Amino acid sequence: MSFAYLRPESLDAALEALAEPHSMAIGGGTDLLVWIEEGLASPRRVVDLRALPGAGEITLRADGSVRLGAAVRIADLAEHAELRARFPVLADAAASVGTPALRNMGTLGGNLAQRPRCWYLRGGVSCFKNGGTECAAFGGEHVYHGIIAGGTCHAVHPSDPAVALEALDAHVEVAGPGGATRRLTIAALFAGAAANPRAELTLKAGEVITAVELPAAAAGGTQHWEKMMQRGAWDFALVACAAARRADGTVRIALGGVAAGPWRVALSVEEDVASGALDDESLDALAERALYDAEPLGGNRYKVTMAQAALRRAMRRLIAAG
Ligand SMILES: Cc1cc2nc3c(=O)[nH]c(=O)nc-3n(C[C@H](O)[C@H](O)[C@H](O)COP(=O)(O)OP(=O)(O)OC[C@H]3O[C@@H](n4cnc5c(N)ncnc54)[C@H](O)[C@@H]3O)c2cc1C
């Protein structure tokens, strides 16, 4: 498979190139090049976004907020000391991604836009996302698939940083044809991921992520990351949990590995955690309530138990610090 490689140095030039048919954005290429190699994507040109102004920069503002260029590497998120001091849950989530090689090549934008690891999707099976009408995992092998339904597809999104960004109430900056820009919450970025046959993100044709904004109000406080994997390292999350108690006492908790995108627990659960001391019995009840909507498939019921355990630990930690 051959394709043209472009490395524009201005956003306008990148957007112009991406407006051409059969163009795809590329960051570190750790996912896209595999898709191309396996015949799952066949772009005529790939547009490298890493040379755009500010794309690789972490900007710490005096008010406590942070701007992350979309081409910031996962390794930078994990290793930047001042970013870690403000947003440890994001640094820990980034540090838990794959391998050192992947973290050194992979970018934040590419991590958010990577496709699910579902074996049916990647195996070219005629599933919902591959042009079919049903999810092959539903009646097939689904041990790693989702327990929260949201549409036809049962694949989970593999991004760990996305789960931390949801707990931090981050926003994503998007730019598209003609230079039009939009600002989306993480929930809006992943809205309808299980029902969208083409992609998991709500990006329109020709749009790219240009940056992620972390709000000052979410800096500091108590932040917690947990990732449960089948093996100790180099693995995707079976279940991940990102939780944050802000300095003002408010709480936000998100789970990964359970749905088509980062899944935020009910507001009432977060409010109960924020309200203070809860004994073990109350925590068990809260963890059960948080997963009330879970609809596991026959082979992944274990994820409900796992998610409840992760939630109990996260809630204990936030309450202890409150
Ligand atoms: C063995 C292995 C283990 C892994 N483990 C984990 C893990 O534990 N946790 C985890 O989170 N991830 C994991 N990953 C995924 C890895 O982190 C991603 O491959 C990587 O983050 C993708 O980044 P990239 O810059 O290389 O993306 P690319 O491969 O360059 O692009 C991926 C997709 O994003 C699109 N894209 C790239 N940049 C942008 C942008 N700015 N705006 C819009 N679209 C864009 C591309 O068009 C493409 O569709 C693993 C991958 C492998 C191979």
Distance of alpha carbon 139 from alpha carbon 301, whole angstroms: 14
- pLDDT tens digits, one per residue of 144-184: 999 998 899 999 999 999 999 999 999 999 999 999 999 99
In a domain, 290, yes or no: yes
280 and 143 assigned to the same domain: yes
Span from the CA of 141 to the centroid of ligand 1 (angstroms): 24
CB–CB of 107/50 below 8 Å? Answer: yes
- pLDDT tens digits, one per residue of 88-108: 999 999 999 999 999 999 999
**Pair of tokens at residue 10:** 């201005």
Question: For residue 33, what is the domain's CATH number?
Answer: 3.30.43
CB–CB of 118/137 below 8 Å? Answer: yes
- pLDDT tens digits, one per residue of 247-291: 999 999 999 999 999 999 999 999 999 998 789 999 999 999 999
- pLDDT tens digits, one per residue of 28-53: 999 999 999 988 899 999 999 999 99
**For residue 32, which atom of ligand 1 is closest to its CA?**
29
Residue 9 pLDDT > 80, yes or no? Answer: yes
Residue 322 pLDDT > 80, yes or no? Answer: no
What is the per-residue pLDDT for 224? 98
What is the per-residue pLDDT for 120? 97
130 and 191 assigned to the same domain: yes
pTM of the model: 0.98
Among the listed residues 205, 208, 193, the one whose alpha carbon sits nearest the alpha carbon of residue 129? 193
Distance of alpha carbon 310 from alpha carbon 88, whole angstroms: 17
Of all residues in the chain, the percent with pLDDT exceeding 70 is: 100
What residue owns the CA closest to ligand 1's atom 7? 97
Span from the CA of 116 to the centroid of ligand 1 (angstroms): 10
In a domain, 52, yes or no: no
- pLDDT tens digits, one per residue of 14-27: 999 999 999 999 99
In a domain, 53, yes or no: no
- Cβ neighbours of residue 31 closer than 8 Å, sequence gap 6 or more: 106, 110, 114, 115
Give residue ranges with CB within 6 A of ligand 1.
Answer: 24-32, 49, 70, 74, 97-98, 102, 105-107, 109-111, 113-114, 158-160, 208-209, 236
Return the best residue to mutate from 3, 24, 31 for the ligand 1 pocket (most ligand atoms within 8 A of CB): 31
Return the best residue to mutate from 24, 32, 103, 160 for the ligand 1 pocket (most ligand atoms within 8 A of CB): 32
Span from the CA of 110 to the centroid of ligand 1 (angstroms): 4
24 and 62 assigned to the same domain: no
Residue 232 pLDDT > 90, yes or no? Answer: no
- Give the DSSP per-residue string, 72-115: -BHHHHHH-HHHHHH-HHHHHHHHTSS-HHHHHH-BHHHHHHPP
Residue showing tokens 């590329």: 26
Return the best residue to mutate from 3, 22, 23, 30 for the ligand 1 pocket (most ligand atoms within 8 A of CB): 30
CB–CB of 228/306 below 8 Å? Answer: yes
Distance of alpha carbon 174 from alpha carbon 123, whole angstroms: 30
What residue owns the CA closest to ligand 1's atom 4? 98
What is the per-residue pLDDT for 234? 85
CB–CB of 70/84 below 8 Å? Answer: no
What residue owns the CA closest to ligand 1's atom 21? 111
Span from the CA of 255 to the centroid of ligand 1 (angstroms): 19
In a domain, 217, yes or no: yes
In a domain, 254, yes or no: yes
Q: Which DSSP symbol is given to 9?
A: S
Any idea of the CA torsion for 105, 200, 152, 143, to the nearest 10 degrees?
20
* Angle between helix 280-290 and helix 267-274 axes, rounded to 10 deg: 160
Q: Which DSSP symbol is given to 246?
A: -
221 and 303 assigned to the same domain: yes
Span from the CA of 320 to the centroid of ligand 1 (angstroms): 35
Assign 321 a pLDDT band (cuts: 50, 70, 90). Answer: confident
Backbone angles phi, psi at 115, to 5 degrees: -90, 160
Q: Are strands 45-48 and 23-26 parallel, antiparallel or unpaired?
A: parallel
Distance of alpha carbon 142 from alpha carbon 147, whole angstroms: 10
Q: Which domain holds residue 21?
A: 1-47
In a domain, 241, yes or no: yes
Q: What is the mean pLDDT of the chain?
A: 96
Backbone angles phi, psi at 208, to 5 degrees: -135, 160
What residue owns the CA closest to ligand 1's atom 37? 110
> At residue 254, what is the residue type?
A
For residue 26, give the 3-state DSSP assignment. Answer: strand
Distance of alpha carbon 275 from alpha carbon 291, whole angstroms: 20
Question: For residue 253, what is the domain's CATH number?
Answer: 3.30.465.10
74 and 203 assigned to the same domain: yes
Span from the CA of 93 to the centroid of ligand 1 (angstroms): 14
What is the per-residue pLDDT for 276? 83
CB–CB of 209/188 below 8 Å? Answer: no
How far lies 110's CA from each of 73, 162, 291, in Å?
9, 11, 30
Total of domains in the chain:
2
Q: What is the CA radius of gyration of the chain?
A: 19
20 and 139 assigned to the same domain: no
